[in-house]
């Protein structure tokens, strides 16, 4: 059964908001993992995490994200969360 546009505002409809905290936690973990190199020492684990980030960041900065501050980290976190 297809839901109409107003069913998401219903008090008894918990399908839309049931995973709300999980979505925030996953996206914050991805962002914290990518920015972890600022406040931790580099080791093999952080090197393995930075390889996909550097590939995605190089692709984003080629197009239009070079002059936007924080845009490359956001896009790299978004694409990595889609891969995971």
Q: What is the pLDDT of residue 36?
A: 66
CA nearest neighbour of 51 among 22, 13, 83:
83
- Give this prediction's pTM: 0.39
| Residue % of the chain over a pLDDT of 90 | 0
| CA 54, chain centre distance (Å) | 15
Tokens 């996206």 appear where?
27
Are 33 and 26 contacting, i.e. CB atoms less than 8 angstroms apart? no
| Residue % of the chain over a pLDDT of 70 | 58
Q: What is the pLDDT of residue 22?
A: 76
Q: What is the pLDDT of residue 5?
A: 64
Q: Rounded to an integer, what distance in angstroms lies between the CA atom of residue 82 and that of residue 30?
A: 11
């Amino acid at each position: 059964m297809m839901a109409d546009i107003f069913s998401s505002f219903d008090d008894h409809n918990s399908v839309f908001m049931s995973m709300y905290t999980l979505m925030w936690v996953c996206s914050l973990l991805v962002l914290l993992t990518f920015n972890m190199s600022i406040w931790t020492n580099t080791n093999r684990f952080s090197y393995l995490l930075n390889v996909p980030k550097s590939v995605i960041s190089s692709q984003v900065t080629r197009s239009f994200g070079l002059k936007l501050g924080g845009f490359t980290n956001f896009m790299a976190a978004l694409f990595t969360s889609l891969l995971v």
